[in-house]
Amino acid sequence: MSALGPKLRRLEGGRVAFWCPACHRAHALTMRSATGDGWGFDDNEDVPTFTPSVLTSYNGSDAGQNGAPPAICHLYATRGRLLYLADSTHALAGQTVDMPDWPGAT
């Protein structure tokens, strides 16, 4: 993993990750390949945009308890802002926040 500005990390396999303050974990995206698969990235390290939306499910704190499904995080990352969609199951659903710096980045 290598730093790609304070907000992003470059991972092996052509992936780029950002820190999600709603999930308290990184979301890693495979960048668009020559075949068109993956996410688009505008190469702006300070206020990045990824397309299309990011939809991920994970075992959140309540996942699987009392029949609860996995947690869902669905967002648009546009010009350094994270717009969380209403189908997200965390506290930031329906809100827009600035993309934070990677934890520990200075």
Containing structural domain, residue 82? 2-98
Looking at every residue in the chain, the average pLDDT score rounds to 89
Q: What is the mean pLDDT of residues 73-86?
A: 97
Residue 91 lies in a domain: yes
pLDDT at 33: 79
Residue 68 lies in a domain: yes
Residue 37 lies in a domain: yes
Cβ–Cβ < 8 Å for 10, 18: no
Q: What is the mean pLDDT of residues 47-51?
A: 96
Q: pTM for the full model?
A: 0.87
Residue 103 lies in a domain: no
Q: What is the mean pLDDT of residues 69-91?
A: 93
Give which of 28, 21, 38 is closest to 88, Cα–Cα.
21
Residue 82 lies in a domain: yes
Number of structural domains found in the chain:
1
Give which of 16, 29, 15, 8 is closest to 73, Cα–Cα.
29
Residue 106 lies in a domain: no
